[in-house]
Amino acid sequence: MTSAARCPALLIAAPASGQGKTTVTAALARLHTRQGRRVRVFKCGPDFLDPFWHTLASGAPVHQLDLWMTGEADCRARLHAAAREADLILVEGVMGLYDGQPSAADLARQFGLPVLAVIDASAMAGTFGALAHGLQHYQDGLPWAGVLANRVGSARHAGMLRQGLREPEHWLGVLSRNPALVLPERHLGLVAATELEDALQRLDVAADALADAPLGRMTLDELRQRWSVDFDLPVASLPVPKLLQGHTVAVARDAAFCFLYAANLECLQALGARMVFFSPLADRALPACDAVWLPGGYPELHAARLAANQGLRDSLCAHVAAGRPVWAECGGMMALFEQLTDGEGVTHALWGLLPGSVTLHKHLAALGPQGLRIGADELRGHTFHYSTCDTPLPARWRTHPPGARAGVVGEGEAVYLQGSIVASYFHAWFPSAPALVARLLGGLGGLGAQSGALAA
């Protein structure tokens, strides 16, 4: 086996959010997948929604790449594995190219990923070239592929944009201004592709549009000649111990609870857990299980149906009364409180396993990477929510942002412990601390006996 795997790759970035990089990434993946090419797509940074579109476009699971949350070694291993089987690797950036620590630009430099900049050119002409030049040269050593203009008004407009580039060979074409190329959004981001009956047709329209651009017309040989990257063989990692062998974990999965990292499911499998999926919207009782995982999602959009499912509530109550663990993340935690007031100001009586209420707001309440340290283990992840909770429960633990001292009040999200329930707004990336995940789900007797002291 050689030490590196070689494959053409692009990191699709932008000056800011909302420029169209998700549409371009998904369209490019769909275009090549339709031609029989094996495309593997990754998402830079924590994100649950964009991967729905990329999974549909490529027909393959989508994983996160983040130098802090997932770590350099995990990024390297996933890129190398993808390069061994794929014809093309695409990585969608996060926010603007240089936003965040680490940023998409840091990831591009770390792994030699050529950057394709997608720029919304709808309100500019000559400045397009200046912006492209600045993105390319703001920091030294950034691999560069070129630039694609989005939301272009006419052929004349496209000509002005192209003329503004200092290096004409970096021109990769345009996508015209077209409402059909805009993916629908709501308060947490894009609407999941799984919620739309015409999602694949939307991607086909975008792929057809991209096929007319120089980028879309490239053959596989041209892609290899221009943007091939050598992905080094990763250092072998230690196997994950089978701490959940013989345990069954019931995972909520439906339109209300859909924020599931593919890597988290793989981690549970590696721990030896058997997973069974259930729908809190449709199922009247939990499946037979040793532990329950309630991931994030949109309980606020389905609060009336959740409140009406008394059978599932009773089943959860019996599960908790028996001392069986529940790990509830963000939306999963929201559903456990007594009341939820949605974005229209309507209050719903929910499951009542935690005391207190949740209120949805018009603006973000929290956003950013977070870590949860309990004992010697640190579980990494992020927080992103528009609601706040009012509860008499004290915080048993607190998450912390990167670089901050763990457990400082006000620095991160509260993590509540109520009986066998552990709940927080924190979204965890399980592979960062499999042993702690096993404890959260009861594989090692739970967390009730922990002192609660958090190491720095």
Q: What is the pLDDT of residue 1?
A: 44
Same domain, yes or no, for 153 and 257? no
pLDDT digits (tens, 9 = 90+) for 344-390: 888 999 999 999 999 988 887 778 899 999 988 999 999 988 899 99
Residue 190 has what pLDDT? 55
Residue 65 sits in a domain of what CATH number? 3.40.50.300
Mean pLDDT for 295-305 is 92
Q: Are residues 227 and 275 in the same domain?
A: no
Tell whether 88 and 22 lie within a shared domain: yes
Q: What is the pLDDT of residue 232?
A: 92
143-179, pLDDT tens digit by residue?
999 999 999 989 999 999 999 999 889 999 998 877 7
Query: Taking 70 as the threshold, does the pLDDT of residue 398 lie above it?
Result: yes
| Total number of domains in the chain | 2
- The residue out of 185, 204, 232 marking a domain boundary is 232
Position 453 in a domain: no
pLDDT per residue over 233-292, tens digit each? 888 878 889 999 999 999 999 999 999 999 999 999 999 999 999 999 999 999 999 999
**CA separation, residue 269 to residues 247, 249, 437 (Å):** 11, 10, 12
Mean pLDDT of all residues in the chain? 90
The pTM for the full model equals 0.90
Mean pLDDT of 89-116: 96
pLDDT surpassing 60 at residue 456: no
Range of the domain at 323: 248-440
Given the residues 267, 289, 330, 389, the one annotated as active site: 330
User: What does the pLDDT look like over 28-79, one tens digit per residue?
Assistant: 999 999 999 999 999 998 888 889 889 999 999 999 999 999 999 999 999 9
Q: Which pLDDT does position 49 carry in this prediction?
A: 83
Q: Does any domain span residue 240?
A: no
The answer to whether residues 189 and 265 belong to one domain is no
Model pLDDT for residues 6-18, shown as the tens digit of each residue: 999 999 999 999 8
Q: Do 199 and 264 sit in the same domain of this protein?
A: no
In a domain? residue 286: yes
- Do 207 and 146 fall within a single domain? yes
Q: Pick from 232, 261, 282: which residue ends a domain?
A: 232
Q: HEC string of the chain?
A: CCCEEEEEEEEEECCCCCCCHHHHHHHHHHHHHHCCCCEEEEEECCCCCHHHHHHHHHCCCCEEECHHHHHHHHHHHHHHHHHHHCCEEEEECCCCCCCCCCCHHHHHHHHCCCEEEEEECCCCCCHHHHHHHHHHHCCCCCCEEEEEEEEECCHHHHHHHHHCCCCHHHEEEEEECCHHHCCCEECCEECCHHHCCCHHHHHHHHHHHHCCCCCCCCCHHHHHHHHEEEEECCCCCCCCCCCCCCCEEEEECCCCCCECCHHHHHHHHHCCCEEEEECCCCCCCCCCCCEEEECECCHHHCHHHHHHCHHHHHHHHHHHHCCCCEEEECHHHHCCEEEEECCCCCEEECCCCEEEEEEECCCCCEEEEEEEEECCEEEEEEEEECEEEECCCCCCEECECCCCCCCCCCCCCEEEEECCEEEECCEECHHHCHHHHHHHCCCCCCCCCCCCCCCC
Q: What is the CATH number of the domain that holds 416?
A: 3.40.50.880
Q: For 386-408, what is the mean pLDDT? A: 84
Question: 7 catalytic, yes or no?
Answer: no
115 and 52 within one domain: yes
Q: What was the pLDDT predicted at 193?
A: 56
Do 369 and 397 share a domain, yes or no?
A: yes
